[in-house]
Amino acid sequence: MASQEERMLAGKLYNVYDKDLAKKYERKDNLLHRINFPQAGVDPQAELKQLIGKMGKNSYIEPPFFCDFGENITVGDDFYCNTNAIFLDSGKITIGSRVLIGPRVSLFAAGHPIDAGVRNKWLGFGKPVTIGDDVWIGGSTVVNPGVTIGSNVVIGSGSVVTHDIPDNVVAVGNPCHVLRKITEDDKQEWQAQYRDYQADQS
């Protein structure tokens, strides 16, 4: 018989109040308290490295931060997450490298049944959320269970992402939809501004 955690990570219904999962919730709660309300001598980033399943090099999460477990989150290199993020990792949350996440962004890899009779038995399910490399997600965006966001993507602030988003696009709205492709003209424009910046700093 599969454990409730195994069912959860397989995307099947599981008991959200399972006693073994409760131990993981307690560990998470203790670490989040140390991260979000640090005492003297406590480094929140060191505590985050204990909480998150895998954090790449030069990765930083701005407290306060909230999650279901923490250990089901994988983050690549050079990742930055702004304040008040909520990552519900009842399903796997996988984030690539060089990803920027704005304030109050919610990644929901957790859900509940549509049928109230089943939902009221305190059953839930997890569906993975996957984000590629070189992505910027604007503030107050919500990403729903089972969504994959490709690489080199910009998600406009306040978006609600209900379906997969392909590579190399700007996407916005509720529901989030592709606004346009990211073009060579975009690259040339921003490279020119970068050269101006470099010249001003030299």
**Strands 123-126 and 110-111, how do they pair?**
antiparallel
Instruction: Name the residue among 46, 16, 20, 48 with its Cα closest to residue 32.
Output: 48
Please pick, among 33, 112, 163, 177, the residue that the annotation labels catalytic: 112
Q: What share of the chain is helix, strand, coil (3-state, %, to 5)?
A: 25, 25, 45
Instruction: Name the residue among 87, 57, 62 with its Cα closest to residue 73.
Output: 87
**Residues 107, 119: Cα–Cα separation, whole Å:** 21
Catalytic status, residue 163: no
Q: Render the burial of 166-196: b for 16+ CB within 10 Å, e for the rest.
A: eeebbbbeeebeeeeeeeeeeeeeeeeeeee
Structure tokens given for 145: 């269970």
**Residues 83, 99: Cα–Cα separation, whole Å:** 15
**Residues 113, 54: Cα–Cα separation, whole Å:** 29
**Where in the sequence numbering do the catalytic residues fall?**
112
